[in-house]
Structure 1
């Protein structure tokens, strides 16, 4: 942070550590009672370097939390039908409690069809239509991991959402849209913005809580931030750069997430927490 920074840094690494510590304890307790270790299956199509790194990191974090991993790799040439078959098999395997399909998948694959092959009770990454509906209607289910992590981070920093204006820049089905639903459930007034939004900055400058999930490096600068706003940067671009121009935004915001060390650790923490919860439910230990 520069000398002119005024915003308080939202330390996702520290908050995530506490969540993982609890998940670790819960996994150990479940094993002590049932003899079963929660298991997260990861599926990777192709060999995209970033995706390979992410999967390995998730496997490493799982092991440290006392969660077993099963990894399935498919070649870049895999078809939608082949991927769906793998996900269906994992969904039917009682030894697997959570399933993560690393995304994005290669362009020729129908990603939505693949997501929908994941059994809702094992959708610990919150990517199925069932999970989205549960988030939208406030019913039991698993939150999309990154949006869920964002909400936990806001809670950890006691950010009041009721009656506040939240602006989400981005409308992807696993980030922008679900985080808006979760904010709405906490009584925020939510505005979605996207590539077709006219005069974007006029809307972002109204935001008490601004969530950047657009996938463009340093897309939102300080002049697009309302003084005193809470800024959540959910982007991650090459070079460890988020969707927010940190230095300029931090001079205006009251709270801001760094990249890395903000939303990213929270995503993995929620994924692990939900894997343990999925195992507990499937074993009838509510």
Structure 2
């Protein structure tokens, strides 16, 4: 099969690497230009280009493929079977959608039509979902709305972070993508239209959404903390300072145990904090500008004990 691979983000880079481990190599990798990074604003290659270079794959940089006439010329000349688009960050329009024999297919980390958009993994965790999945579908002009070729469910554990769930979905997704490619080659692929009436959306996480207070339900706090790990990190305010919370454990879901922010007990060395309903233990936290510490070191630093209230 003759195909291109379009990606720019880290998830797209990981998928590319795993595909090649399974013996699936694109004829061309298309990615965005290097971006200024760091204090010196030096141009830095994205992860996709790094993977492509390490594997000596043919590479094409384009900041806007829809205005890239040279790339369109290559598209016509190469007579592709398909273009795989994953975590690309650019809207793919005609003629890319229709010139390849099978069009463009995308691997999305949700069970479409649920969680269309930029943050499906984080939103599923924030919503407390117990099951998500991966979907291979055909790209159209509408966001994540094309007909579905293949899907697979992936369970979500109560302590899965976004990073952990991303790894699960990556493994399942690459296997599903290989299966989908084989269906296309064999001529047995069947596409199913999405049910628009059940569509939900997963917009990008805003800075404001990363904040939480302990007057919220314990489940809501726990879900937000794990959804925003490894980035950007959920945070609260303690002692008039920003405290990022990287890991929590759900201790109690429903009962109102005490005034929110009260240290109810020490569980396995970690402080159990009362929430609006239920409680969570603080496992890993980080003062702004400081290193990550465990929950015990956190309360020791503030000289707090059982029964005290977080300042």
- TM-score, normalisation: structure 2: 0.33
Which has the larger share of strand? 2
